[in-house]
Structure 1
Amino acid sequence: LLINIFVLPIAVGGLLHFAGQGVDADTFVLTLPMSQRQEGLTLLVFIGGLSSATGMVIVETIALSTMVCNDLVMPMLLRHNRAALEESKDLSGLLLGIRRGAIVVILLLGYLYFRLAGEAYALVAIGLISFSAVAQFAPALIGGMYWRGGTRGGALAGLSAGFMVWTYTLLLPSFAKSGWLPGDFLMQGFFGVELLRPQQLFGLAGMGEIAHCLFWSFFANIGAYVGVSLLRPPMVAEATQATLFVDALKDTGQGGAVLWRGRAQVSDLQELVGRFLGPARAQSAFAAFARRRGNSDDVTPEADAKLVQFAESLLAGAIGSASARVMVASVAKEEPLSIEEVMHILDEASQLRTYSRELERKSRELTAATLELQAANERLQELDRVKDDIMSSVTHELRTPLTSIRALSELLRDDPKMHLPDRERFLGLIVSETERLTRLINQTLDLAKIESGRADWNGCELDLKEVIEQSIAATSQLMREKEAHVEVDLPDNLPLILADRDRLIQVMLNLLSNAVKFLKQGSGRISVTLGRRADGLEVSVADNGPGIRPEDQQLVFEKFRQVGDTMTAKPSGTGLGLPISRRIVEHFGGQLWVESVPGEGATFRFTLPFAHAQQVEVSPDTAV
C-alpha cells in the first residue's frame, strides 16, 4: 500500500496539467515528462514501466499456469489416463509442456479480452473486474475454514451462481460498452425487461457497477452455498474432511502425530517423486529429510507416516495436492482399521473428553476459589484500613485530655502554695478529664468489639417503655442543671421487642445527653415519644437546640466527628456515642437517623422490629 503513495502526486499533477484535454490517466506517468520535453526522463519511465509490466505478466502467468496444471489438467489425466502416467518413468517433461501451453493460452485470452473490451476501460477498471471474479471464491473458502456444515455441492452451487451473476452484471456489460453486444442490452435489460438491466438489476440503482456486481453476486453465491449445504446434508467423507480442516489449527496435544496405517517402500516413493521432479532432485530431497530426522539414507526399506507425508508434500508442489494424494495412494497400500482398533480409538477419545471436562471443572473451581480469596483479601485490607483510622483517631482524641491533665498537674506541682479554691478547681478539672479519658477508652473498645463482631449481645423480649423511662431518670440530673423541660409521650400496652436492655439504655443515654448538651440554659425543651409502626416501634428524641445543617446530618454518625456552632467552642464528648448507637440499633434490625432544620432543633429517631411476627398488624388507633 505504501508504494501507491507515489502515485498520488503523479495523478494530481496530471489532472491539473491536462485538465479538459482528454488524456488517459493511465498514461500520466509518460505524458507529464513528455509535455515538459524531458526525453531522457520519459525513456527512463518507459523502460521502468515496461520492466514492471513484464515482470507482473511473467509472475501471474506462471502462477496461473501452475494452478491450471495442478488443479485442472493433471487430475483429468489421472482420472482418464492413469495407467499411461504410471508407466512413464519421467513426467517432468509432461508437466513442463502443460504449463507452457497454459501460459500461451492465458496470454492469448488476456490479449483477446483487451482487444474486445479493454479499450473501453482504464487499467484499474479491468483490475476491479478481475477482482470481482476472484472474490467469488471467498464464501466457499471462508465457509470451509469455519463451518463444518458446508458441502461440496453447496460450494459448487455458490461458485456457479456467483460467476453467473458476475458474468451478467459486469463481464457482458464490458463487451456491450465496447460495441460487441447491442447497447440496448444495458438500457432495456435482457428480453427488454427493465428489472433485468445488468447494472441496475431488480431496480437497484445508485451504486457503482463494481459494488452493484459484488452485492448481487455475493447474495447469490452465499445463498446458494448455504441453501444447498442445508438442504443436502454432507456425506460421511465430507463431514470428516470438514472436521479435520476446521480443526486443523487446534492443538490436539499429540505433538502433531500423523494417523496412517499402511505399507510403502522408500524406493517406490523416491521413484514416484523422481518421475515429476527428476531423479537427482528427488534423491537429494529424501537424503535431506533423513538427515533432519537423524537417520541414514538406508536405515529401513519401509517408509513411515512422516516420510509418506513428506513425499506427498513434494508432489503437491509439482502436480497439486489432489493429484499428489492419488499418486501416493498408487504405491502406498493402506490397511483398514479393525473393529477392535476403532473401538480402542473411540475409548481413548472418550477418555480425553472426560479428562477435558474434568479439567474445565477444576478450572472453574480454581477461578471461584481465586475470587473468594480476592474478596477475603479485600475485606482484610478494609479491616486493616479501619484499624489504622481508629488508631489515628483514638490517638488524636487521647492527646487532648492527657495534655490537659499534664498541664494542670504541672501547675499544682510548681505552685505548692496555691490557694485552696484554685487547687480544688484544678483537681476537679483533672478528675473531669480523667473521666472523659475513661469514657473515650471504654467507648473505643466497645465500638471495636461491635465492628469486629466480638461484642456480647444479651437479646431478650423487653418493654421499650421501661427502657426509656429508666434512661430519662438516669439523665434527670443533667436536665435539672440545664433547667430543661422534658415532655414524654409513652403509650401503654405496646408490643414487646427483642433486644439487649443494657445496649438500648446506652442508646437512649447517648441521645438524651446529646440533646441536653446543645440546649440553651433555662429555655431548653426535650420531647421523647414512643409510637407504633407497621413493622415495629419508633422512638424519637427532639430538642429545640441550634439544629444540624443538612450537609452535616450524616457526618454526626461518623467516628470522632462532632458538629456544633462554629462560633462557639467544640462540644464536649468523644464523638463515638452516635456511631455506637447506630450500630446497636442496626444489629437488632432497626434504623437510626436524624431530622433537623437549622435554628429549630434536631430530632433523632430509631426503629426496632417486633419480637414476634404476629404483632406486625397495626390498629388504626395506635399507629403513628
Structure 2
Amino acid sequence: MAVYCTTWTFYGSVGRAAVSGIGFLPVYLGPTLVMALGWFILLKMIRIVKANRITSIADFISSRYGKSHLLGGLVTIIAVIGIVPYIALQLKAVSSTVGLLLSYPEIVMPHRSPTMSVAADISFYIALILAAFTIVFGTRHLDATERHEGMVAAIALESVVKLVAFIAVGIFVTYGLYGGFGDIFEHLATHPELQRLATAIPSGQGYTGWFSLIVLSALAVLFLPRQFQVAIVENVNESHLRRAAWLFPLYLLLINVFVLPIAIGGLMHFSGQGVDADTFVLTLPMSQRQEGLALLVFIGGLSAGTGMVIVETIALSTMVCNDLVMPLLLRHRGLALSEAKDLSGLLLGIRRGAIILILLLGYCYFRLAGEAYALVAIGLISFSAVAQFAPAIIGGMYWRGGTRGGALAGLLAGFVVWGYTLLLPSFAKSGWLPGDFLTQGLFGIELLRPLQLFGLTGIDEISHCLFWSLLANVGAYVGVSLLRPPMVAEATQATVFVDALRETGPIGAVLWRGRAKVSDLQELVGRFLGPARAEAAFAGYVRRHGGRQGDKPEADARLVQFAESLLAGAIGSASARVMVASVAKEEPLSIEEVMHILDEASQLRTYSRELERKSRELTAATLELREANERLQELDRVKDDIMSSVTHELRTPLTSIRAFSELLRDDPKMHLADRERFLGLIVSEAERLTRLINQTLDLAKIESGRADWNACELDLKEVIEQSVAATSQLFREKEAHVDLDLPDNLPQIMGDRDRLIQVMLNLLSNAAKFLPPGSGRVRVVLSLLADGLQVSVTDNGPGIRPQDQELIFEKFRQVGDTMTAKPSGTGLGLPISRRIVEHLGGRLWVESVPGEGATFLFSLPFAPQHEPAVG
C-alpha cells in the first residue's frame, strides 16, 4: 500500500513544507484515519471483489449498477483524464532529478524551453522506458484473477528502497549538516522570514484547507486506481488488512519524520540561490559532494515514481481494455469475435497499447501544464478527480436505492465541475487558455469564474473544487436515484454489494434461469483465457463439486455464474455478461419475481439468524443453569461445613452447662461461694452459646448472599472512634493503652456503618485477648491510599506464626489452636470481618512476626464522587 507515497511524497512534501510548514501533513492524516477508523470499508470492498472477480474500480462501479457498459466506460474516462496529471507529476520529478544529476558537481536547475522538440526532451524517453517496464511487469499474460504477484513484490521492494533513501538523507541533513532537531529549530528562530513555518496552521491555508486535504486524501487512498489495485484486487488474504491497519500508518509516519528538517535546512542552506524546494532532498547531498547519498536518493525517487506509474498504468490499461475497447469490439459485428478461437493475444495487445497511450498523455500534460505547478499541486488535481467515485461506490455498498441513472448523473456532474474548477484553470495558468477565463469567468459571467464559482471566495482552489464537485455529485446521484426504483439487474447487484459481509453464496446463481451447454461455456471462456486454462478451470470446478467432467451436458445456474466470473476477470463484468448471454438462453425475470426471490432469501437469512440467536440464548441459559447448580452445590457444601462445625462447637458450652447444672442439682447443700461460681460459669457458657449461634447465622447469611446491607457514605474516622469507645472497658481491665492516629478531613467511603463497627469491634477485642497484662499497647492508624483508606490495628501480643496467618481467617480456627492455650471466642469473628470487608470492595489481611505482635489491616475504596484527582 506504500505505493501511495510517490515522488509527491519523496520530493513534493519537502517542497510543500518549505512553503506552508506542517501543511504537508493532511495528505497523510487522511489515509491514517481511513486505516484506523474506516478499515471496514476496505474489508467490504475486498469481499465484493473476491466474490465477483472484479478487476478494477470501473468494473466495481459497473458491476454494482447492473453491469453497465456505459457506466464502466464513463468511470474509465474520468480515471484516465484524472490520473494523467499524476503521471505527469512523476515524469516531471524523474526528469528534473535526471537533469540535476547531469549538472553535477554544479547545481543547475533544469530549464525547459517551450520550443524544445520531443526528440530532444528526456522526459519523452523516460515515459517510453516506464511504459516498457510496465508492460514487462504487468502484461506478460492474461490472468482471470488480474493479480500480479511479481509486480507486488517489486512494489514492496521499491517501497523499502524509497523509505531507506529518504530516512538516510533526513539523518544526513539533521545530524550531518546540523546538530539535530533542536539545532535546526534554533537556527529557524534566527531567520524571521522562516517563522511562518513554525505556525500550527499556516496563514492562507486555514482549517478549511486542512479539512479538505484530509477528506481528499482519505478518499484517494480508497479510490485511486493504483490503491484499489494493490489494496483490493491484489489482496490474497483479507486477514492482511489487520496488519496493514497499523503498518501502513507507521510507514507514513517514518517517511515524514524528516520532511520539515529537510525543508528548513534547505531553505537556510540555499537562501537566495534560487534552488527549487521540491529538489532539496537531492540537492542538499549534492551540495556537500555526497555522491553515494545523492545516487541513493535518486534511486529512491526513481522507485517512488516507477512504482506509481507501473501500478497506475496497469490498473488504467485494464479499465481501458475491459470497459472501453471490449464493449466497442463486442458491438462491431464485422470483427466476427464469435468465430475467434483465442482472443487472449488481442486483449494483451490492447492493454499494452493502452499503457503506452496513457504514459504519452501524461507526457503531453507535462509539456502543456506541468511547469506551472509544484509537484503537490499537480497531485491534488488527480486526488480531486478520483474523489468523484466516492458517492457511487460508498452509496452502492450501503444503499440499495442507488440506481444506474443516479450513478451516471452523479459522476457526470462531479466530473464536469472538477474539470471546470480545477483542470481548465491549470491550462489557463500555463497560458494554453485565455487569462480572462480565470478573472472574468465563462462568457464574461463573474459568477462563473472557475476559482470563485457562484461567488464562493475565501478558500483555496482545492477546497473550492471539492465542495462544488461533491455537492453536484451527491445531489445528482441521490436525486436521480429517487426518481425511479431500481431495475432487475440493479436490484440483484444491490443485494450482492450491500449484503457482501453476510452473503455466503453468489446471489446471481439464484436469480439466473435459462439453459446453456457446458461445452459452449468452456469454449467461450477458452477464447479469452486460452483453451488449456479454460479446460483446467472447468475441470477444477467439477472436482470441487464432486462430479466428473462430461457428466452433465447442460450447465446449471452455478456453473453459468462460474463461467461469467472467469470471463469477468479477463474482460470485465459488463462484457462477461454480454458474452455469456451470447451462448446461454436466459429467461428474463420480472422485477416482481426478483424482489420475491430476494424477499425469500432475506426471510431465510432472517430465519437463520433467528435460529442462531435462539441457539445462543439456549446455550446461555444452559450455562446459567449449570452455574446455578454449581452454586447450589457450593451452598449445600457450605451448609454441611457450617452444620458440622457448629455441632462441634456447640457441644463444648452445652457440656459445661450440663455438668455444672448436675453438680448444683446433686449437691443441694453446696457452699454459697461454690454455688455462685458455678452459676457464673453457666451464665458465661450460655452467653458464649448465644454469641456462637448469632455469629453462625450471620456468617451463613453473608455467604449465601441473603445478608441485609445498608450502604451509605460515611466517615471512617467516626466509625473507629465509636468502636474504640465501645471496647474501652476491655482495655481498662487489661490495663492496656490505646493510641489513635486518625487524620482529619479524609475523603468519605461507601460502606455499611453497623457492619464496619462489627469489623472494628472484632479486631479490637481480638487484640485485647492477646495483650500482656499491665503492659499492653494497641495502636489504631487511619491512612490515605491512592484509591481509598486503610485501617491498621497493631498489638504487642505474642504474634502469629507465618503458617497460621491464613488459617485464622477460616471458620472456627483460632491462633490458639496451634499454640499453648486456646483463647476465648467462637473463631468466627475474623472470617465474618473478612467477608464484610470484601463485600464492600476492600481487603483484610494480617502482618505479624512471632514475638513482636500482630497488625490487622483492611482497606476500603473511596465513595465515587470523592475520588481525589491523581496526576
TM above 0.5, one fold? yes
Distance 1:390 1:83, change over 3 A: same
In structure 2, the partner of 1:127 is 379
1:555 to 725, 744, 754: 754
Alignment of 1:86-165 (within 5 A): 86-165=338-417
Contact 2:492 2:507 in 1 (8 A): no
In structure 2, the partner of 1:318 is 570
**Shift of residue 215, structure 1, vs aligned partner:** 3.1
2:331 to 66, 76, 79: 79
Contact 1:153 1:228 in 2 (8 A): yes
Distance 1:296 1:17, change over 3 A: farther
Work out the CA distance in 1 between the residues paired with 2:428 and 2:698: 94
Contact 2:492 2:508 in 1 (8 A): no
Distance 1:439 1:279, change over 3 A: closer
* Cα deviation digits, residues 39-75 of structure 1 (max 9, x gap): 5665665566556645643443333122111011211
1:174 to 426, 429, 432: 426
**Aligned amino acid, residue 217 of structure 1:** S
**Aligned amino acid, residue 158 of structure 1:** G
Q: Would you say 1:210 and 2:409 are equivalent positions?
A: no
Distance 1:343 1:277, change over 3 A: closer
**Shift of residue 320, structure 1, vs aligned partner:** 1.4
Q: What 5-or-longer segments of structure 2 have no aligned partner?
A: 3-158, 171-258, 705-725, 728-749, 770-824, 827-871
In structure 2, the partner of 1:246 is 498
Distance 1:558 1:381, change over 3 A: farther
Distance 1:449 1:255, change over 3 A: same
Q: TM-score, normalised by structure 2?
A: 0.44
Work out the CA distance in 2 between the residues paired with 1:344 and 1:289: 30
Number of corresponding residues = 470
Higher relative contact order (CA 8 A, sep 6+): 2
* Aligned-residue CA RMSD (Å): 5.4
* Cα deviation digits, residues 451-489 of structure 1 (max 9, x gap): 999xxxxxxxxxxxxxxxxxxxxxxxxxxxxxxxxxxxx
In structure 2, the partner of 1:57 is 309
Work out the CA distance in 2 between the residues paired with 1:174 and 1:85: 42
In structure 1, the partner of 2:685 is 434
Work out the CA distance in 2 between the residues paired with 1:97 and 1:206: 49
Contact 1:405 1:433 in 2 (8 A): no
Larger radius of gyration: 1
Alignment of 1:594-605 (within 5 A): none
Q: TM-score, normalised by structure 1?
A: 0.59
SS at match of 2:482: helix
Work out the CA distance in 2 between the residues paired with 1:100 and 1:451: 82
SS at match of 2:395: helix
Work out the CA distance in 2 between the residues paired with 1:155 and 1:186: 30
Q: Would you say 1:366 and 2:618 are equivalent positions?
A: yes
Deviates more, 1:167-176 or 1:135-144: 167-176
**Shift of residue 177, structure 1, vs aligned partner:** 2.2
Deviates more, 1:170-179 or 1:183-192: 183-192
Work out the CA distance in 2 between the residues paired with 1:175 and 1:212: 17
**Shift of residue 184, structure 1, vs aligned partner:** 4.6
Work out the CA distance in 2 between the residues paired with 1:124 and 1:222: 26
**Shift of residue 140, structure 1, vs aligned partner:** 0.6
Work out the CA distance in 2 between the residues paired with 1:250 and 1:562: 63
Work out the CA distance in 2 between the residues paired with 1:115 and 1:363: 67
Q: Give percent identity, aligned residues only.
A: 73
**Shift of residue 342, structure 1, vs aligned partner:** 9.7
Q: What 5-or-longer segments of structure 1 have no aligned partner?
A: 454-516, 519-550, 575-624
**Shift of residue 395, structure 1, vs aligned partner:** 11
Work out the CA distance in 2 between the residues paired with 1:37 and 1:346: 70
**Aligned amino acid, residue 555 of structure 1:** D
Work out the CA distance in 2 between the residues paired with 1:39 and 1:256: 60
Contact 2:646 2:696 in 1 (8 A): no
Contact 2:403 2:490 in 1 (8 A): yes
**Shift of residue 26, structure 1, vs aligned partner:** 3.4
In structure 2, the partner of 1:70 is 322
Work out the CA distance in 2 between the residues paired with 1:386 and 1:32: 81
Distance 1:40 1:369, change over 3 A: closer
Alignment of 1:162-311 (within 5 A): 162-187=414-439, 189-190=441-442, 196-202=448-454, 204-205=456-457, 207-252=459-504, 260-287=512-539, 289=541, 298-311=550-563
Work out the CA distance in 1 between the residues paired with 2:442 and 2:589: 57
Contact 2:496 2:503 in 1 (8 A): no
Work out the CA distance in 2 between the residues paired with 1:238 and 1:164: 25
Work out the CA distance in 1 between the residues paired with 2:538 and 2:673: 115
Work out the CA distance in 2 between the residues paired with 1:185 and 1:210: 18
SS at match of 1:231: coil
Work out the CA distance in 1 between the residues paired with 2:279 and 2:508: 54
Contact 1:393 1:560 in 2 (8 A): no
**Shift of residue 318, structure 1, vs aligned partner:** 2.6
In structure 1, the partner of 2:584 is 332
Contact 1:404 1:430 in 2 (8 A): no
Work out the CA distance in 2 between the residues paired with 1:448 and 1:398: 16
**Shift of residue 332, structure 1, vs aligned partner:** 2.0
Distance 1:187 1:450, change over 3 A: same
